[in-house]
Structure 1
Amino acid sequence: MSNSDNRWRALSVALVAGFMTLLDVSIVNVALPSIQNDLHLSPGELQWVLSGYALTFGLVLVPAGRYGDARGRRNVFIVGLLLFTLSSAAAGLATGALWLVIARLVQGAAAGVVNPQVSGLIQQLFAPRERGRPFGLLGGTIGISTAVGPLLGGLLIQAFGTSSGWRWIFYINLPIGVAAMILGYLWIPAGEKARKTGDLDPVGVVLLGAGVLLLLLPLVQEREWHGNRKWLLAVAAVVVLIGFVAWERRYGRQRTSLIDLGLFKVRSYALGALIGLLYFAGFTTIFFIFTLFLQSGLHYTALEAGLAVTPFAVGSAAGSAIGGRLVNRFGRPLVVAGLAAVAAGLIATDLVLHFVPGHDAGWAAALPLLVAGLGSGFVISPNQALTLSEVPVARAGSAGAVLQTGQRIGTATGIAAVGALFFAQLAAHHGSWVLAFRNALWVTVGFVVIALVAALADLRRRIPETDAT
């Protein structure tokens, strides 16, 4: 078998594992009512089931990416998959709130171990000019896994019943996880020998972990911790992260630091990370508030709610496939076009809900969501490729992890901001779900538009450079 075949086999198993772990970000959305009824969870406990996963996911990404860079990605990938599979089984067997929340926290941490190894493997296995297609596939995996989650969750609940169908959302990970571990061991190259332990930068790991935790915790608990004191944690996060940057500069003079701060001097990386953070703040909130609106407001079943979101998933799949092929030709303008399409699709969704009220509203939004999904495919895949295109292979895992950490922070920020407005509007308008959804949707549009402005700013800076040459 040729080396090219071996590379694509390794990539395929890595993408399947990445898809499985990212799917668990959104698949739980449609299952929340079933989980609440079966285990009698409080609203705070339910929030932890959803957001606890994102919290530990974001905490572990960068240290796990750095560890994979230093010690070899295959073994880290397999250990992460083993932990993810076991915690998925534990979540499915949960008999109470504490059990389920702990299982979800471990599951999120395991997902944070697996994911940076995927982007690192692409950097390791493919030359710079060959990375457009594999990064396109990775971006498509990220977008489609999040978009298809509600549909798959709805199908499982429909098949196994509303009382215990939610458990199969976790059980489905078991056969996939076992197969991915076996094939990962067989197909992914072992990599280089372990480097010095000092290269792992333990002080940097602790400082970054503390900073991310302090930043995400008030966002995750925004609706549970009343008052403004919780935002003091965000201020503390800024102080800790400033200390982290100072430490990294000092440590990097003599050894290999956790994060190469010089990467942020590369415009493609810095701008791509910013666009990713802003876009994920809007992108992932669509499924959060839309599935709530459909199930609680319009009384859709879990399957119907999943089907209503499917046009976005279809558009995202098509856009990712096309965007992966066009990114090397068009570059950042493709991301600009995608962001504009997402904004236009979401604005059209608001207009449709104005003219088609009632139970048919979810189905009437199919075409605008298809347009938004298509644009999303043009954003995530190309932006992933452009952002990591100039990253050295030796730092691929940690660079990809920093990018995903930004996405997780964006997700937590978006859900907190949009969710707070959504429930405030619901109370202000005496239970009018459609008004609450439409008003919250404009916050989502706002995040996408800010990301569009950032991408346009990059184009304006590039035009003079092109003319000068």
Structure 2
Amino acid sequence: MNEQLNHNQSAQKHGKNVLLILTLAFSVLLSGVTVDMVMPVLGLIGNDLGASEAQTSWIVGGVALVLAIAIPFYGRIADFVEARKLFTIGVLILTLGNLIAALATELNMLVIGRMIQGAGMASVSVVSIIVISRVYPPGQRGIVLGIVAGSIGIGTAGGPIFGGLVGQWLGWKALFWITFTLGILIAISAQISMQKIYPLESEKNKTFDVIGGISLGLMIGFFLLGITLSENQGLTSYLTMICLGVSFVALVILTIRIRTASNPFIPPILLKNRAYVRSVLIIFLSMFAYFPILVFIPLLVVEVNGLSPGEAGMLLLPGGATVAILSPIIGRLSDRIKHEILLIAGLLCMGGSTFFLSTFSGGSPITLSMGVLGSGIAYALINSPANNFAVSTLNKEQVGVGMGLFQGALFLGTGVGSALMGTFLALRRKGENAINPIYESHVPHYSERHII
């Protein structure tokens, strides 16, 4: 009798564990899809809402801006608020943003809905990692992080495919109705599968550094805004320089707070943790290189090869499938071998893939899909080990703010990478000679985007 009872309890626990992993995986998958699904249909949205290309860019840029600002805040708030509640609030905010976007009849309403989506996605992204770090021990953590990282990769690569196909068949508003429905289901699943995870006792009596948090938000927000504006107005334009200036002033204030506040928003010990700082730099640079591939390869094949948005999105499928297959495997490996080996392999693979894409930009779409496949392998080799490495360098009191900053660096890399490469693409569009010495096709500006 007791054996049967223990067996039933073990089965129930296993079932909840599986549901928790699925909930976390599908939540970050939904976030990744929501960020990127609009890219193939920006032209359709612009035509329907009477918006210019520069105006519709805020449909993507607004999300990246809010994500980069909000993620570190959620990481710090997780030190004070119960994790399941914070996760559920984030999913519901994301769902509300989808509803507003689905009902939008003008561009401003759509951009507001997208920015609300970003505020919700920020919670999902960082709290998922915090939940994993507090529920699973080091020996089991890698594979779960791998599953979640794979889901992020699938969402990032699959978003344009989903957006292109559904947008063409059912219209762009259908994208938001589908994600709205999925958000409700994930919120319900979180209540069933996720246990309450309360803040650590050592964090309860600490104060929240409001000035430091605002300074960090202003620094990231105005920096990303300045880079985004430079795409249309140039790096030396008046508005761009003002934004970058405000960002610099905020950086100075943040530095002062780190040195003088009794409980600063960014604990100085994090900045002295060289292993953690390396992991943050690696994830920033890897996303700086990877995300623009997902943005500009579809643009390239639509402009040069004459593919439809749906066909262009399908070129990203090999990379997304590779990330889905490899991420759990590499996550498990990161529990058993040195993280540095996987990270170095991933960085070398990313460098080789971007050089390949630089060399064959303007060539066959099938050839380009091979470069996308290589970048997907690189992403899988980097993302899971970098997450696992970052978590392993932090003690329990540092996980919230530390992983918030880590995830913030990830999304900052995506925003800065795509914006800077967009600016460079615009500046070099009339260039005749490519930097890549072995490039022979007729679109050197696309070649240079990848080699840089």
Tell whether the structures are fold-level matches, with TM greater than 0.5: yes
Q: 2:379 aligns with which of 376, 381, 405?
A: 376
Letter aligned with residue 168 of structure 2:
Q
Query: Could you say what secondary structure the match of 2:51 adopts?
Result: coil
Partners of 1:348 and 1:193 in 2: CA distance = 47
Instruction: Report the counterpart of residue 452 of structure 1 in structure 2.
Output: none
Q: Which residue of 2 aligns with 1:467?
A: none
On the 8 A contact 1:319/1:373 being kept in 2, the answer is: no
1:225-374 equivalent positions in 2, closer than 5 A: 225-226=233-234, 227-229=236-238, 230-252=240-262, 255=263, 257-328=264-335, 329-353=337-361, 357=363, 361-374=364-377
Q: Distance in 1 between matches of 2:96 and 2:375?
A: 36
Where do 1:311-460 residues align within 5 Å? 311-328=318-335, 329-353=337-361, 357=363, 361-428=364-431, 434-443=443-452
Deviations 1:290-311 (A, max 9, x none): 1111223322112101111212
DSSP 3-state at the match of 1:189: coil
Residue identity matched to 1:388: V
Distance 2:159 2:381 in 1: 20
Aligned-partner Cα distance in 2 for 1:7–1:323: 21
**2: CA distance, partners of 1:63 / 1:56:** 11
Between stretches 190-199 and 64-73, larger displacement belongs to: 190-199
Distance between the aligned counterparts of 2:32 and 2:109, measured in 1? 21
User: Which residue in 1 is equivalent to 2:186?
Assistant: 180
CA distance in structure 2 between the aligned counterparts of 1:202 and 1:353, rounded to whole angstroms: 47
In structure 2, distance between residues paired with 1:153 and 1:364: 23
Q: Runs of 4 or more off by more than 3 Å in structure 1?
A: 1-8, 193-198, 224-229, 350-354, 427-430
Give, in whole Å, the separation in 2 of the partners of 1:126 and 1:245.
34
Q: Structure 1 residue 5: deviation in Å?
A: 4.6
Aligned counterpart, 1:22: 32
Number of aligned positions between the proteins = 430
Tell me by how many angstroms 1:133 deviates.
1.2
Amino acid at match of 1:273: V
Partner of 2:4: none
Q: Secondary structure at the match of 2:58?
A: helix
Contact 2:231 2:420 in 1 (8 A): no
Q: Distance in 2 between matches of 1:368 and 1:237?
A: 35
Match of residue 67, structure 1, among 38, 59, 77: 77
CA distance in 2 between partners of 1:409 and 1:182 (Å): 30
The superposition leaves residues 118-144 of structure 1 with CA deviations (integer Å, 9 ceiling, x where unpaired) of: 111011101223211122222222222
In the alignment, is the contact (CA less than 8 A) between 2:290 and 2:375 conserved in 1?
no
Q: 1:90 aligns with which of 83, 100, 108?
A: 100
How far does the alpha carbon of each residue in 1:419-458 deviate from its partner, in whole angstroms, 9 at most, with x for none?
112122324469x973332222212xxxxxxxxxxxxxxx
Q: 2:145, 2:328 within 8 Å by CA — same for their partners in 1?
A: no
Q: Which residue type is aligned with residue 83 of structure 2? A: R
Q: TM-score, normalised by structure 1?
A: 0.86
- 2:196 pairs with 1:190: yes
More moved, 210-219 vs 5-14: 5-14
Shift of residue 146, structure 1, vs aligned partner: 1.0
Contact 2:28 2:124 in 1 (8 A): yes
Closer, same or farther: CA 166–394 of 1 in aligned 2, 3 Å: same
Pair 1:171-2:211 in alignment: no
Q: 1:268–1:387: 8 Å Cα contact kept in structure 2?
A: yes
**Where does structure 1 lack aligned partners over 5 or more consecutive residues?**
444-469
Q: Note if contact 1:66-1:395 (Cα within 8 Å) is conserved in structure 2.
A: no
Q: What does residue 139 of structure 2 align with? A: 129
Gaps of 5+ in 2: 1-8, 434-440
Moved more, 177-186 or 108-117: 108-117
- Deviations, residues 388-426 of structure 1 (Å, cap 9, x unaligned): 212223332321110111122222221122111212232
Contact in 2 for aligned 1:88/1:171 (Cα 8 Å): yes
Tell me: CA distance 1:47–1:336, structure 2 relative to 1, closer, same or farther (3 Å).
same
Kindly report the root-mean-square deviation, in angstroms, between the aligned alpha carbons of the 2 structures.
2.3
TM-score (norm 2): 0.89
Residue number in structure 1 paired with 2:159: 149
Q: Take 1:353 and 1:284, find their aligned partners in 2: how far apart are those partners?
A: 16
